[in-house]
Structure 1
Amino acid sequence: MAEQPPAPATDLSPMEARRLKLLQPLQLSIISPEKLEHAQQIIEKDKAIKPFWVNKYKNEAAKNWDRFYKRNETRFYKDRHWIEREFTIYKQQPTDTKSGTLNCLEVGCGVGNFIFPVLERNPHLFMYACDFAPQAIELVKQHESYKSGRCSAFVCDLTKDPLTDTIPVGSLDVVSSIFVFSAIPVEKLEAAVRNIKEVMKPGGMLCFRDYALYDAAQVKFSSNPGHMLDTNLYVRQDGTLSLFFSTEQIRDLFEKEGFTTAECEYVHRETINRAMDICIDRRFLQAKFIKQ
């Protein structure tokens, strides 16, 4: 994890205070054992919906994400300015001194909330970006900062479309997967990892963050039965999927495909819902894997 930045001043505007808070590294999980036990009890009581609907939601995942982006366009997600705080490799100079470029890929890029802030701050990056929702890629290409010399966006379903159709084999220094694997059914995860591995250089890094077991969102799903498709896999009201991971599951997934684990841990952030006057425990999983 990155070092703590200097303590913020006390007379900041709300916007400046929020920006500084986002620069603070996420803390190791500090959810109390009592809260975790309570969450586990709620989740274990939940039951999967009928197989017909499970298959329908899994098969229509790409279609439902495309509808999501057609409906929300660029309004739903905020730019992810915290990426370089947690994954400092995006600040580094390229190792390939001949090209002078750090070649990167963001899988599940959405509308570009990750790629454009990072490209702006590091002139040495070239960023591939893919998503299985055509509408998302169209919105990326319409962005005022989209330039063919700095990034290349394309439609791709990681679980079946070869990345090598667009990206040269073994050419990438860094791959990011930020809240992406949670949208993929468990039985398709291995195919996604193998696909990513093909385009990475030996020694290349995969930066991973996603939802962790017992996150407040999972507890909310199980508190309202009718969302569970499979163990730790849920469907939102709009038909998009959300899978919650353990560190053991993610470590095993990548190591089985020949990656070495550099980091894999739970991180925790408390968020406050002021309207309801409650504190919500968000629990994420953050990891870094190295291709051998």
Structure 2
Amino acid sequence: MEGIASNTHRVLTEEEGNRLKKQDETIVSDFKRLKLEAEAQKNWDLFYKRNDTRFFRDRHWTTREFELLVGIDGDTKKTLLEIGCGVGNFLFPLLEENANLYIYGCDFSPRAVEFVRGDPRFNGERMKVFVCDITEDRLEDNIPELVDVVSLIFVLSAIHPDKFQRALHSASAILKPGGVLVFRDYGLYDMAQLRFGRGNKIGDNFYVRQDGTRSYFFSVERLTNLVADAGFDVSSCHYVNRRTVNKKEGVDEPRVFVQGKFIKR
């Protein structure tokens, strides 16, 4: 997942710009927008039903990317909450690499949480996972303490933009003062955004996939404004630019992510 850090978004080619313009020709109807929001949990549950635990690989890159997490295992216990834990691709590698880390994990999908609990690596003495809609539910009802770190890794993009602030305020509420929010998600003009066709666009930089799950593509400016309004100071926030290259299939495409580290005031 390593790439080139940048404070400015990538410049589109003329062809890419035309692709984005075509997306505006057919926008998702109001009826479909409301239906997608009402069925968001069901669509993510169906996603995990179809893909089981096979879709995402374990994220061993996280300790490389977030130096904060590299040193999290010390002489004292540390606590981390992963919002949107999925099937545990982030949780289990961290658990293996950090002996003094206690992990909480929550997810919108009951099926995903069951997959985590059923994993042979699950350790009830060192972790707790639960179902939670962070835009509606109180994290404090399942977590009896303030935590040192909260992670939002490819999670906020799946939430309707109108609810971004609620999600970030939930993250802030469960963090200790001076605690850290680590973030990575899809960045503006990522190849996944450029691939969407007409009929997939819900709103500005917000799209629906064929399976009904949704994705937002962040600019650095939008993200820094959101976290500032939610009570965080920006330690770092930038684009991570990579390329997906497959010479055999003739693929050479841009990947863009937004990565940040934010401190609770």
**Aligned to 1:101, which of 77, 83, 87?**
77
Specify the SS of the correspondent of 1:54: helix
Confirm or deny: 8 A CA contact 2:190 2:256 kept in the other structure.
Answer: yes
Give the equivalent residue in structure 2 for 1:66.
45
The change in CA–CA distance for 1:220 and 1:84 in structure 2 (over 3 A counts) is same
C-alpha distance in 1 between matches for 2:169 and 2:148:
16
* Residue deviations 1:221-248 (CA, integer Å, cap 9, x gap): 1xx2111111111111111011101001
Unmatched runs of 5 consecutive residues or more in structure 1: 1-21
Of 172, 182, 187, 1:212 maps to: 187
CA radius of gyration, larger in: 1
What fraction of aligned residue pairs are identical, expressed as a percent? 45
Question: Is the CA contact (8 Å cut-off) linking 1:183 and 1:242 kept in structure 2?
Answer: yes
- Give 2:3's aligned residue: 26
Summarize deviations over 1:200-232 as a string: whole Å, max 9, x none: 0001000000001111000001xx211111111
Matched, 1:42 2:19: yes
Partner of residue 232, structure 1: 205
Asked whether 1:261 is paired with 2:239, we answer: no
Q: Which residue of 2 aligns with 1:242?
A: 215
Match of 1:167 among 139, 143, 146: 143
Alpha-carbon separation, structure 2, partners of 1:110 and 1:219: 25
Matched, 1:57 2:30: no
Query: How far apart are 1:284 and its partner, in Å?
Result: 0.5
Q: Is the 8 A contact 1:40 1:214 kept in 2?
A: no
- Partner residue of 1:127 out of 80, 103, 108: 103
Q: Cα deviation per residue 1:29-53 (whole Å; 9 max; x = unaligned)?
A: 4986353x64344223423221111
Counterpart of 1:144, as a letter, is: P
- Between the two structures, name the one with larger relative contact order (CA 8 Å, sep ≥ 6): 2
Instruction: Tell me, in whole angstroms, the C-alpha distance in 2 between the residues paired with 1:148 and 1:42.
Output: 48
Superposition RMSD in Å: 1.7
Which structure 1 residue ranges, 4+ long, deviate > 4 Å from structure 2? Answer: 29-32
1:281 to 1:258, Cα distance in 2 relative to 1, 3 A: same
Give distance in 2, aligned partners of 1:39 and 1:209.
24
How far residue 269 of structure 1 moved from its aligned partner, in angstroms, is 0.8
Deviation at 1:274, TM superposition (A): 3.7
| TM-score, length of structure 2 as denominator length | 0.94
Question: Structure 1: how far apart are the matches of 2:33 and 2:72?
Answer: 45
How far, CA to CA, are the matches of 2:255 and 2:120 in structure 1?
33
TM-score when normalising by structure 1: 0.85
> Which SS does the other structure have where 1:57 is aligned?
helix
Partner of 1:87: 66
Alpha-carbon distance in structure 2 between the residues aligned to 1:80 and 1:93 = 16
Aligned to 1:118: 94
Letter in 2 for 1:62: Q
Query: Could you tell me which of 159, 164, 170 is aligned with 1:184?
Result: 159
SS at 1:58 equivalent: helix
Residues 9 and 239, structure 2, Cα contact 8 Å, conserved in 1: no
Q: Give SS of 1:196's match.
A: helix
Alignment counterpart, residue 252 of structure 2, candidates 276, 279, 283:
279
1:33 partner SS: coil
